[in-house]
Chain A
Amino acid sequence: MHKQYANHTALDGVSLEVPEGSIFGLLGPNGAGKTSLIRIITQITGADSGEVLFRGERLNPSHIGHIGYLPEERGLYKKMKVGEQLLYLAQLKGIKKEEARHKIKGWLERFDIKGWADKNIEDLSKGMQQKVQFIATVVHDPTLVILDEPFSGFDPINANLLKDEILAMRDRGASIIFSTHRMESVEEMCDHIALINRSKKVLDGPVSEVRDAYRTQTYEVEGRGRLIVVHPDFEVIEHKERENGHFYDCIRIVHGKPNDLLRYLIGPANVEVHTFREKVPSINDIFIRRVRETHPDYVPESDSILA
């Protein structure tokens, strides 16, 4: 996929595959090109070159009814009643009036907001509007749901409710594309991820594979005693002394297996081990590493972008 705007390139040869029935994380800092990609999939704009295949078929207007899109910038008609609004948006997706009515009723019941149907949107709180917006996104039972920063604006309770709904949708066979720049928020939910930076894809694959590929053979060790590592196979990255003779160490295995390190610790090093666990790289860490590898000159503008 290529997409060029007047003075910058939004997408430069990005190619992705979203497996059916999975949650796909589309990650990247602001301005990386996520929204451009989504707008191409939702047929809001077209690509300069490249094509989108939807279940093997070239994307065309008949697919609109199979896609549900929750944009980052939310909005509803302020002076319209919740029920009417949902009905209108559902009908625009191509469902019949009666069927839409039935489905809306079901969703309002599921979210326990049946009493709102006759309220105007402007009379609802922000969080309530978000719920309505989410229903509008999925009311037509799309097989592909695209959620752009879905959790922004939700309190923790409703965020959980939303999370459960998203997982339930996946279990019903829908594919979900998650777009976010807050990578830690979706790590736990995503089956697949793709990282986009500066209009290029820098990484993609199943989350477990990505993690495996970026394992650093680093282990966190906590315990009691004086730990002095003098073995050439192990490198101490971080060492902290704690009270009562406790310690925390971060050790990279340069050569060998985790058990070798464990044996060394309880053997020659002679310390009492309380905790021994692999330090798994977060998606965020992987992203930063990947960006450094591909764009050595790239310095994130601020931590918040990658936080």
Chain B
Amino acid sequence: MSKIWLIVQREYLTRVRKKSFIIMSLIGPLLTVGMFAVPVLIAKMSDSGKVVAVSDAGGLFTENLPEAKDDISFTRASADLATAKAEFKKAKYDALLYVPKLDVANPTGFQVFSRKGLSMSLENDINRAVNNAIENQRLRAAGLDHKVLDNLKADVDLQTVSLSDDGEKSSSTGISTAVAYFFGFLIYIFIFIYGVQIMRGVMEEKTSRIVEVVISSVKPFQLMMGKVLGIAAVGFTQLALWVLLSMGISSVMAGSISPDKVVEDRAARTTALVRPTTTQDQAAKQDNVAAKFSQALKSADLNMPLLIACFLFYFLGGYLFYGALFGAIGSAVDSETDTQQFMMPVTMPLVLTFVVSQAVLTTNPNGSVAFWMSMFPLTSPIAMMMRLPFGGVPAWQLGLSMLLLIAGFMFAIWVAGRIYRVGILMYGKKVNYRELSRWLFYKG
């Protein structure tokens, strides 16, 4: 036992001290935050400070121009199109909106001129402003007050509730899906990264021939387990660092460019353009959107402690299961190029779960495909983690799945240990599956 501990220590320390580990630990969270932040930043930058000139021949905007938003403002140009075009060329307007003489009942002939192509969002905004103005005119013609209409309009949020044997639980499908993907993806990526590290580590020992020295001191099984556990510790360290750093970075950046805020911005702008509402209304609406996200998290009733506990279990279980298999592959081959044929059957279920999950797991988290996939140890670490956030997984299923995974990795480690023991001392021999299966039954 103390020897396994020594091996774990070595595997852990040599990896954690590597520059690549430190760099990955620092860059990982930056990348994650960046993945959210960059699109947001780009979205923010591109639309700012656009000026749209309005050539209002039809008198649609005689009373007032559409309200300026922080990134788009309107200005009046000559009603004559030719003069307006000249003005547009001289001044630095981004777009020129031409409103022809029009019949309110059947408005046609609107034109938007721009120097380069028009961005999608700007076009939408202009379109909305025009629609809005026409609607207002029609309302007035029909003798309706704007306020009355606002009162008539409905904007209802649906609260989805999952009804299971355990009783009612409110849930939010969107949030559940996001959480399911998040957990599934983490497990998937970590099994891959660290599984391959085990394989490389074993191959390094084999090709550098240190292995014969080491296994004259420890049992091959101890060496393999030490390596698997040591690298697991590295994985957990990296995960913990990522979580901590991501939280740190995002809390710093949250003030300016968090995704929620941008969502709010967009929502607020849309509502503002559709309906010139009072500031109070707008504030209420904003609150609504902001609150919606955090409320959804709460109302999703995700049972976070259970999810995190299960995540750690499946993370470790899946890793041990696959790690042992990767270790066995590493021991059976002489070089990286030979690994392909053995990698395939090991990585296939992993990739498959992830692909299938998009089609089946998240849409029908308690269907029979989802059930079987969350039982089978090769797929259960990811499949079960993707089912859990949706709730409604009976305790017996969770228990059975965990038991099967434990049994699965015991078996995988046994198989891997048998292959490993023979493989690490086998050089210059092309190994195939028949050979591997024979190794399983070699004596001592």
Contact = CB atoms under 8 A, between A and B. Distances in A.
Interface in A53-71: 61, 64, 67, 69, 71
A64 B3 CA distance: 12
A19 interface: no
B218 interface: yes
A77 B206 CA distance: 10
A80 B14 contact: yes
Nearest to B17: A79
A93 B212 CA distance: 13
**Among A69, A75, A77, A80, which residue has the most Cβ atoms of chain B within 10 A?**
A75
Contacts of A91: 6
Contacts of B212: 44, 69, 71, 73, 75
Q: Is the interface on chain A under 10, 10 to 19, 20 to 34, or 35 or more residues?
A: 20 to 34
Given A69-B216, A88-B6, A75 B211 contact: yes
B444 A136 contact: no
Contacts of A45: 425, 444
B82 interface: no
Interface string B186-229: 00000000000000000011001111111111110000000000
Contacts of A133: 213
- Tell me the dominant secondary structure on chain B's binding face: helix
A128 interface: no
Nearest to B209: A75
B10 interface: yes
B215 A77 contact: no
Nearest to A75: B209
A67 B215 CA distance: 12
Given A6-B438, A79-B14, A73 B209 contact: yes
B201 to A, nearest CB: 10
A149 to B, nearest CB: 13
Nearest to A91: B6
Interface string B407-444: 00000000000000000010000000000001000011
A92 to B, nearest CB: 4
Interface in A231-279: none
A293 B219 CA distance: 41
Contact of B10 (A6, A78, A88): A88
Interface string A174-199: 00000000000000000000000000
A92 B217 CA distance: 6
Contacts of B438: 6
Given A6-B438, A88-B10, A75 B444 contact: no
Interface of B: 3, 6-7, 10, 14, 204-205, 208-219, 425, 438, 443-444
Interface of A: 6, 39, 42-48, 61, 64, 67, 69, 71, 73-80, 88-89, 91-94, 133, 136-137
Given A75-B209, A77-B204, A92-B218, 10 more contacts: A42-B216, A44-B212, A44-B425, A45-B444, A73-B209, A76-B208, A79-B14, A89-B213, A92-B217, A136-B213
